[in-house]
Amino acid sequence: MPAFRAKVFVCTGCKKMISYSPDQLGTTINCPRCGEKVLLPQADALPSPDTEYLPPTLLSAKQPRRRRPSLFLGLSCCFGVLVLIGVIGALLFFPLLMPAWLQRICEPLIARGALAVAQVPAKLGDTGISITVTKMSRECPMIYQAAIRQTAATETPAYCVTVVIANQGKSVVSYRTWRRVVTESDIQRAATLRDGEGRLYGTVSFGPETWPVGTRQQADIQPGASFTDILLFECGQAAPGDYLLTLPGENLGHGGVLRFRIPRDLIQ
């Protein structure tokens, strides 16, 4: 074997480097360390003289490792999703308990129907029904007694909330008042009113034969027509902040719920 050794190859058996002469290119030799037969590379398979030669094991060590997504990044994403869900849940179920600055941030979501604002029409789902809270006042309402066909003023003041239901669809809409009348189903379908501190105000009812003047217990609203109803609630001690009115869609044949924020400065 010639004494001149200018080439280096890695044995496939013991992974040790073998030095060999240029005239041995393409031949098979025995590894001087482990005795394994090794086929030396052809001349055209060798790197150019200007290229640094590295054994295969060293080349693989030089390759950059792929970075896996860090645990911190995954936890941050989960935390962000939970915060978003919490904000949406608070907006839907406890909107009046949210601080003013958070309500302002969530105003775009409020405008999309999660929480409507008084005096602004809101649609009930994908129906043609539009509902507007036009007024809220503290007064002694006039009531109509159907049994004796007389009207009279109540002696006790109540919160009177005026709502307008507009039928913008193409079919008749049957409406049953949100006032609590007498039956258990009426109680379940009654409107609710909460103040800015979360206190619930009870509904005021005079029975199935008595209702506020200008309203009825139920009505069929024709396409293009509207109906005005007055909802009565017990008066409590004036509380700061806005009020929350909840109207079940079941009274209009729909499964949804509408929530209205009534600003404190609109209450007369």
Shared domain check, 25 and 150 = no
User: Residue 1 corresponds to which tokens in the numbers above?
Assistant: 């074997």
Shared domain check, 153 and 55 = no
Which residues are 247's β-sheet partners?
258
Number of independent structural domains in the chain = 3
Shared domain check, 142 and 201 = yes
User: Residue 93 corresponds to which tokens in the numbers above?
Assistant: 């179920």
Shared domain check, 189 and 94 = no
What's the pLDDT at 69? 56
Tell me which of 187 and 191 has the higher pLDDT. Answer: 191
Tell me which of 2 and 71 has the higher pLDDT. Answer: 71
Dump pLDDT digits (tens) for 110-154. 444 457 888 888 888 778 899 999 999 999 999 998 888 899 988
List the single range of 80-89, 125-134, 222-231, 253-262 with lowest mean pLDDT: 80-89
Dump pLDDT digits (tens) for 155-185. 889 999 999 999 999 999 999 999 876 665 5
| Cβ atoms of 18 and 28 closer than 8 Å | no
Tell me which of 229 and 147 has the higher pLDDT. Answer: 229
Whole-number Å distance between alpha carbons of 73 and 166: 49
Shared domain check, 244 and 130 = yes
Per-residue pLDDT band at 266 (split at 50, 70, 90)? confident
What is the share, in percent, of the chain residues with pLDDT greater than 70? 70
Dump pLDDT digits (tens) for 28-63. 888 888 888 877 777 655 555 444 444 444 444 445
Residue 209 DSSP class:
T
Return mean pLDDT, the chain: 76
Per-residue pLDDT band at 104 (split at 50, 70, 90)? low
Can you give the residue range of the structural domain that contains 102?
73-114
What's the pLDDT at 198? 85
Shared domain check, 222 and 207 = yes
Start-end of H helices in the chain: 56-62, 71-93, 100-105, 107-109, 184-188
Whole-number Å distance between alpha carbons of 216 and 59: 87
* Tokens 């001690």 sit on residue: 237
Shared domain check, 44 and 175 = no
What's the pLDDT at 174? 93
Residue 110 DSSP class:
I
What's the pLDDT at 59? 40
pTM of the predicted protein model: 0.58
User: Residue 18 corresponds to which tokens in the numbers above?
Assistant: 């073998």
Backbone angles phi, psi at 123, to 5 degrees: -90, 145
- Across 187-216, average pLDDT: 84
What's the pLDDT at 223? 94
Shared domain check, 204 and 137 = yes
User: Residue 80 corresponds to which tokens in the numbers above?
Assistant: 């962000």
1, part of any domain: no
Q: In this model, does residue 13 exceed pLDDT 90?
A: no
Residue 111 DSSP class:
I
